[in-house]
Amino acid sequence: MKVEGGKPLDLVDPNAIEQLFEVAAELFAERGIDGVSVREISRLSNVSIAAIYYHFKSKEGLFAEVCLHKYEDFERELLKRINAHVPGPATPVAVALAFFDMMTADNNLLRLFQRDMIAGTRTHEHFLSLWQDHHFRRLIDKALGFDPDNPQHQMKSFSLAALVNGYSEVVMSDIDGIADKVAHLQKHRRFLEQFVEMAFRT
C-alpha cells in the first residue's frame, strides 16, 4: 500500500472521503452498526480496510464521523432554507417544516439519525447528546433565537425537537408502500404546520 507522510493515500483525496461517507451512511442507516462490516464498507467504497482503520481507528469511530458529517451538512442546509425565507429569528412553524422537508426527502438520513440515537450510549457515550442535544436542539435554539439557558426556551426547544423527529419517523415508516408519496407528504406537512402553529402559539 502506498503511503505519504505515514498516511495511507486512499483518503488523501476529498472525493474518496465523500464516497466512503456516502457508502457507509447508507449501510449504517439500513442495517445499523452491528449489521455492517468494515470489509463490506471497504469493498463498496473502494477504500482499503487499512486506510479506514488508520483514519477512524474502528467501525464505531467511522460511524461517529459519518454521523457528524451528515449532521454538519444537515445544519448548513437547514439554516440556509430557513434564512432564505424568514428575516431574523424564525417561527416554530418555519423551523418544523424545514426539518420535516429535509428528513422526509432522504429516508437514509432519518434512519441514520435513529440508528445514532438507539446505538449511541452503547458505542460512544457522546452520540446521544450529539444528535438530540448538540445538534437538533442547538439548531432549533439558533433558528428561533432561543436562550439555551432559559428553562422555558429549553422546554419549547425540546418539545419541538421531539415532535418533529417523532412525526417524521411516523410519516416515513410506510412510505415505500404508498403509491402517491408526494400527496402523502403534502398531507402530513399541512397537518404538522397546523399542529405546530396551534401548539406553539404565543
Q: Average pLDDT by consecutive 10-residue portion of the chain (202 residues)?
A: 45 79 91 92 91 89 86 82 71 88 82 69 48 65 83 85 83 84 92 91 66
Residue 62 lies in a domain: no
Residue 189 confidence (pLDDT): 94
Q: Are the C-beta atoms of residues 49 and 38 closer than 8 Å to each other? A: yes
Residue 85 confidence (pLDDT): 63
- What are the backbone dihedrals phi and psi of residue 3, each rounded to the nearest 5 degrees, phi first? -135, 140
Question: Domain total for the chain?
Answer: 2
Is 38 in the same domain as 83?
A: no
**CA angle (134 as vertex; 132, 140 as ends), nearest 5:** 80
Residue 63 lies in a domain: no
Is 72 in the same domain as 51?
A: no
Residue 10 confidence (pLDDT): 58
Q: Are the C-beta atoms of residues 65 and 90 closer than 8 Å to each other? A: no
Is 72 in the same domain as 52?
A: no
Q: What distance in Å separates the CA atoms of residue 1 and residue 106, rounded to the nearest whole number?
A: 36
Give tens-digit pLDDT for 98-128: 888 988 888 777 788 777 766 554 445 444 4
Residue 88 confidence (pLDDT): 64
Q: How far is CA 18 from each of CA 78, 94, 111, 164, rounded to the nearest angstrom?
A: 20, 30, 19, 28
Residue 120 confidence (pLDDT): 53
Is 72 in the same domain as 163?
A: yes
Q: What distance in Å separates the CA atoms of residue 73 and residue 77, rounded to the nearest whole number?
A: 6
Residue 12 confidence (pLDDT): 61
Look up the domain containing 143 and give its range: 68-199
Is 132 in the same domain as 111?
A: yes
CATH number of the domain that residue 1 is part of: 1.10.10.60
Is 46 in the same domain as 146?
A: no
Residue 121 confidence (pLDDT): 44
Residue 134 confidence (pLDDT): 53
Residue 83 confidence (pLDDT): 76
Residue 135 confidence (pLDDT): 62
